[in-house]
Amino acid sequence: MKARLFTLLLLLPVLFASGQRPQRCDVPLPDHIFKQKQRSVTLQPTEELRLQVAIAIASKNCLSVMQVKSLADQFIDDYSRLEFAKAAWHNTVDQENYYFVYDAFAYFSTVFMLHDYVQTMDSRPVDYLPPYEPPLSLNFPALDYPAFENYRGPSNCNYPIREDDFLRLAAQISANNAEQNRLLLLSQMAQNNCLSVAQAMKLSSMLKSEPNRLTFFRTALSTIYDLGNLPFGAQMFAHIPNKAAYNEMISRPTPAPHPIGPVQCFVSDEEFSQITNSIKKESFNSTKVTLTKQILRSKQCFTTRQVKEMVKLFSFDDSRLEIAKYAWDYTIDRDNYYQVADVFTFSSSKESLMKFLEGK
């Protein structure tokens, strides 16, 4: 099977070069904008939400092959990568290089499935979407939105997110039809971006439930730029009790603002449990090693305790040592990393790890 894959990879540049190039996707997203979008995928709490957000990004923007691969690395499961890679192919600028995306996969079988899909689609003309174009369905209600440009009053942050970036993020969230998922995504957007009152009002309009709108505003309050314009937000509530609750909420002192910047990197216990279960399902040691390395690369935010638990999933010290050394670069509390040595059966393995750490 490896010989077949090697032959296939030799032929891929020729196979992809013969396919049609996108008619309208000529330039990929600028790097700084792509990193913002990639971060919106990383912040999702579940694999399903990561896939939804990533597909929304791929379907509305032009991407390079390396950007597609970088997003594919965010997933734990190969089938999520496959679904995303299929969606991303259509708006990829350099499709002739798509074989580089194959490096993101843990299994040969999914590589072949993606290759078969690309070969099927390669001959079909597709109407590619231009970059930066929000969907026509993104319509906000006609309300009295306050301007923030000349605002000089109290503020919780430095300056609102740029309007084009705001529309792109809102468009990604609009692709999710589930109310609770939308609320979660909107709250995350509010926590990680400085918003004007007008922008917060527009985001809240994407929620049908007024209680959910109240919940969103409670989250958004700490990152509102023009606090003096908050009374305008009462327009989002038709029911008197909800309007009264909103007015009472904005009349109280707002909490200290969250810092607008990188979010603390971590893997939750729930997600870590999903990760270890995925690794345990693998029967072959070599596949286990490959999958574990792929997960470490994609998440990059593990604690020493979590690394120890992953290393314990392997039966032999040589594989344990390989993972322990590899995981060093993706651990956030490296001062405690010496504790990983407790997992090893043989003193030689412990010494090898300690010698490795001395060189860091």
pLDDT in tens, 228-243: 999 999 999 999 989 9
73-79-82 Cα angle (round to 5): 65
Long-range CB pairs of 189-192, under 8 A, 24+ apart, other chains included:
189/40, 190/216, 190/219, 190/220, 190/223, 191/219, 191/222, 191/223, 191/258, 192/39, 192/43, 192/223, 192/260, 192/263
The enclosing H or E element of 36 equals: helix 31-42
Specify if 150 maps to a domain: no
Q: Which of 221, 251, 281 is the last residue of a domain?
A: 251
pLDDT (0 to 100) of residue 253: 55
Residue labelled with tokens 């449990």 = 273
116 and 189 share one domain: no
Task: Choose among 265, 282, 337: nearest CA to 307.
Answer: 337
Q: Which of 197, 224, 251 is the last residue of a domain?
A: 251
Specify if 290 maps to a domain: yes
Specify if 130 maps to a domain: no
- Which segments of the chain have a pLDDT < 50? 1-23, 125-136, 255-263
User: How many angstroms separate the CA atoms of 182 and 52, rounded?
Assistant: 11
116 and 22 share one domain: yes
CA dihedral over 132, 136, 140, 146, signed as positive or negative:
positive
Q: What's the domain count of the chain?
A: 3
Specify if 224 maps to a domain: yes
- Domain holding 23, by residue range, is 2-121
pLDDT (0 to 100) of residue 265: 63
pTM, whole model, 2 decimals?
0.39
Q: Which of 121, 149, 176 is the last residue of a domain?
A: 121
241 and 322 share one domain: no
